[in-house]
Structure 1
Amino acid sequence: MNTTFERPVRVRFQHCDPAGIVFFPQYLVMTNALVEDWFNEGLRIDYAQMIAQRRIGLPIVKLDCEFSRPSQMGETITLSLTVTKVGRRSINLEIVGRHGNETRFSAKQVLVTTSLESGTSIDIPDDIASALARFAPQPESIEAHRS
């Protein structure tokens, strides 16, 4: 089973600064869209419904980025998302952006499930935890953390 979710992204004018390269915060916009696509297509959890109806948020609480080389308008970079750890309330991700075999940036993120009503962290809901098991490095660890 493939445990990495990938998506090609075309670098557009809107992503670039006056130098014609990706303005670094735009990578975070791209990674946020990747997480949303991963939920919808990879986990088969409706992201919009999770936010709007279920009122479950997934903010980044920790972020470590490395920018290796600039990307330019017109290039296509492949974003890959790998789950490195699933906790009771958190998901650790590694996202890498590549153009061909060249790494352009990488990000390590910790996302926490929260109640959008109270603003506090909550346990990962069972349906999301089950979906995450397909991508987690050690699927049995999810149930161990939930006990």
Structure 2
Amino acid sequence: MGVSGCGKSSVGIALAQALDVRFVEGDRFHSAANVAKMAAGIPLTDDDRADWLHSLQAEIRAAVHAGVGIVVSCSALKRRYRDLLRAGDPRLRFAHLDGSRELIAARMAAREGHYMPLSLLDSQLATLEPLQPDEAGLRLAIEDDVAALVREILARQ
């Protein structure tokens, strides 16, 4: 979990490979209307995110029913979003990829072909509710490389 540009996809892919489980790119579950809205620099509302979060919850629930592991990348910026995802599997754990605005902005500016504009970073940071003490998960500093972040996740699971 984390704001756009924090490395969710890169870390998620590497973690899924290390665990030999399926990786689900949460961005692929956004509706065309949501993608168009974000591409236009308009922040999503809770209502905009509802179907997207329910789709990801269904993916998580399906993995549980199939008895397989899964790694999902999802911003999960608010506690209530994470609660909704946890309804798919109460054992769900979150890895909050966190870093300075400057580092994340530099990463967003350097990537090509992504619909999320740098102009939405501040609204995401303002929306972000960090993991609470009663939420299963950990906070990771994104200054570390992907391999180190994956090792830390695996060591603390």
TM exceeds 0.5?
A: no
Structure number with greater Rg is 1
TM-score, scaled relative to structure 1 = 0.28
Larger RCO: 1 or 2 (CA < 8 Å, sep 6+) = 2
Q: Which has the higher helix share?
A: 2
Normalised by the length of structure 2, the TM-score is 0.27
